[in-house]
Structure 1
């Protein structure tokens, strides 16, 4: 097990592994996990948006700067590997176009039901890491920290369901960073999330989406009982199920792939969170095959030097 590498490195490299694997045929996925894949791993939009967010937070939190970095990706293809396809989901596109038109970042984010989408989740993982380091595990008790979390997510996805899911995911990751095992991290993170969001009337109605996750035997439900509908909460269910039923990094990724190619967000998130939890040298070995590895390494190095993520 590797202990010297930074948490932000494991997070970003793990995310890139997950998004790369998700785009491959099943046979090639097996080859990657067996470390027999001799071609480059091509990560995509989720990693690029996470790099943009990380690069901004490296300079400290300024909401306008986060939006500027997202726009640099959208308009100038910064943080994207040259020659690779970068797709954009409808909600993110609409929000970034809104900002171009109105120059009002607080109203740019989409707030209708379509914005309760799992496309927000990956780029918020570095934000959770940033909050944990800046405010500690109890950042849920700090309204400034929670406002920061919600405002960064709300730049694109400003639906209450998406914001609650971002909060739950961030609190679970914070518990992992605090040294808890996966079961305790999920239990504690959800408990803190339920307690916080139940005190804010605008979010209360969204909590029912997490009832299944809150069951003590959630890890034992069959994988096909988790219905992925593109909403943030159902994707978080699949992510947590994959993690809870793993004993190592490879197993976590394999679990994430049983949900099929219909959802690439699940393996992206699982591979990132599992990399932080297991800190497996496999992450570092596979990272040697990344397309545009220097771009990833540069953003990670800047984040490490900033000392804002660990």
Structure 2
């Protein structure tokens, strides 16, 4: 299936560009003046290193590619292999895991069923499922076709993949909006149409499932007509799922190339690796056919363990 490598490399490159300034304050990020791949600020990770965002994305993509289906036990086993064995990492060593993801994987290790592992409290609405869920769009496209988001099963599927680590409705709806945008980007030429498509499909789901209405209201600003005109000072760049999705979409919609998009992410500071992974998935897909506007080759070439990234992307494409 076309464009799997563009999405997977889009995630990894965005993650690796943001990782060196992860958790910098905005003024610190701007002062760093990042224009190329850098080593992590601690000095412990060389340029091109990527974090848990890419590792968990690869684990999900590898499960989809190898099984050709959705196997929640298999996905969680791969998450556990990452956490305890260093699988799906740049150098065979696990690092940088959020507490909600850690708790969910530990529950699975203790025998809790996969779909009961995710955090259910509102304070557990970090971006840990949003950052890794992008490969699911290819499975949805293949299984459900061009009218996939008219099928309630698609929302159930997205929610279940999120529930492995993040089960609160706010996190579930963030994943709905993001995956719907990616699905639209596979088929349309204008990025603004992708956001409108995502809004319409998510709204339709909520109208049929009113118990999600309160959670959906958290995304009102993202889905407002004037969202793209918001100044940078109004964009938060934290690990809260709503902030992460807003920041990633804002950077994507207000730039004109993958490079511009990711550099705008980096300059926001905060949770730059996760926001870079989410924005990178969208920009990687959208600019896939443009040598000038796509992922810069000099960034991609510096990615650590890019052979693993390519192998997983190829496997997913062939599934």
Q: TM-score, normalising length from structure 2?
A: 0.87
Match for 1:288 among 283, 295, 301? Answer: 301
Is the counterpart of residue 9 in structure 1 residue 10 in structure 2? Answer: no
Aligned positions, number: 297
Decide whether aligned partners of structure 1 residues 249 and 284 sit closer, same or farther in structure 2, where only a CA change above 3 A counts: closer
Q: Deviations over 1:158-191 (max 9, x none)?
A: 1110001100111111111112411111112111
Structure 2 counterpart of 1:30: 35
Hey, what does 1:97 align to over in structure 2?
106
- The 8 Å contact of residues 265 and 272 in structure 2, kept in 1 or not, is answered as no
User: Does residue 123 of structure 1 match 2:132?
Assistant: yes
SS of the residue corresponding to residue 130 of structure 2 reads: helix
Tell me which of 154, 176, 179 is aligned to 1:145.
154
Return closer, same or farther for 1:128/1:89 CA change in 2, 3 Å cut-off.
same
Are residues 1:76 and 2:85 paired?
Answer: yes
Match of 2:168 in 1: 159
1:71-106 Cα distance to aligned partner (Å, 9 max, x none): 221222211122555211000010111111133222
Would you say 1:256 and 2:268 are equivalent positions? Answer: no
Query: 56, 63, 69: which one pairs with 1:56?
Result: 63
- How does 1:80-229 map onto structure 2 within 5 Å? 80-82=89-91, 86-229=95-238
Instruction: Summarize deviations over 1:241-266 as a string: whole Å, max 9, x none.
Output: 11111112211112222321444311
Q: CA deviation at 1:29?
A: 2.6
- Unpaired segments of 5 or more residues in structure 1? 34-38
List gaps (5 residues or longer) in structure 2: 22-28, 39-45
Following TM superposition, by how much is the alpha carbon of 1:61 offset from its aligned partner in structure 2, in angstroms? Answer: 1.6
**1:145, 1:215 → 2: CA distance?**
24
Pick one of 47, 50, 56 that aligns with 1:43.
50
Question: 2:24 matched to which residue of 1?
Answer: none
Q: CA deviation at 1:155?
A: 0.7
**Separation of aligned partners in 2, 1:202 and 1:93:** 28
How many angstroms apart in 2 are the aligned matches of 1:284 and 1:8? 17
Counterpart secondary structure, 1:118: coil
- Which is further off, 279-288 or 44-53? 279-288
Contact 1:67 1:105 in 2 (8 A): yes
C-alpha distance in 2 between matches for 1:288 and 1:133: 30
- RMSD (Å) for aligned C-alpha atoms: 2.1
Check conservation: 1:140, 1:196, Cα contact below 8 A.
no
Distance 2:62 2:126 in 1: 23
Structure 1: which 4+ aligned runs deviate by more than 3 Å? 25-28
1:238 aligns with 2:238: no
SS in 1 for 2:129: helix
**Match in the other structure for 1:20:** 16
The SS at the match of 1:206 is: helix
Alpha-carbon distance between aligned partners in 2 of 1:228 and 1:156, rounded to the nearest angstrom: 21
Kindly state the Cα deviation for residue 47 of structure 1 after the two structures are TM-superposed: 0.4
Asked whether the 8 Å contact 1:137–1:175 carries over to 2, the reply is: no
In structure 2, relative to structure 1, the CA distance for the partners of 1:194 and 1:229 (3 Å cut) is same
Q: Secondary structure at the match of 1:24?
A: helix
